[in-house]
Amino acid sequence: MSAAGDDEFRVVDEPERQRYEGWLGNELVGFVEYRSVRGRRILFHTEVDPGYEGRGLGSRLVTGVLDDIRANGQHITVKCPFVNAFLARHPAYQDVLAQMPARPAPERSA
């Protein structure tokens, strides 16, 4: 574990690895895996190094991811429980969620 301060935390998109990485100083402390599909990002998995848990870095990582996606005019589909829980606590990010097309109602036979 580094003595770097939390103010050195940054989120970096690594498209060739299909993930965002959270860095504290020069140490990788977490990541969010995604896949890009038709102009949106599907967020699959968030992980924070166990040595850094409990410091709010997971939430800061997800905040950075969502801010970047919003700034690029993209939307998300969420498959990651951590991101889902974050969104439930932070409704200001609901605009980043992809709107899924409505499914037609099944036809009823008489």
Over the stretch 7-27, which tens digit does the pLDDT of each residue have?
A: 699 999 999 999 999 999 999
Strands 40-48 and 75-78: parallel
For the chain, what are the domain ranges? 6-96
Contacts with 95 (C-beta within 8 Å, 6 or more apart), sequence order: 70
Highest CATH level, class, for 6-96: alpha beta
* Average pLDDT taken over every residue of the chain: 89
Instruction: Find the helix packing angle between 81-89 and 57-71, rounded to 10°.
Output: 80
Report the side by side order of strands in the sheet with 75-78. 9-14, 19-24, 27-37, 40-48, 75-78
107 alpha-carbon distance from chain centroid:
37
19-61 residue pLDDT tens: 999 999 999 999 999 999 988 999 999 999 999 999 999 999 9
The pLDDT of 57-75, averaged and rounded, is 97
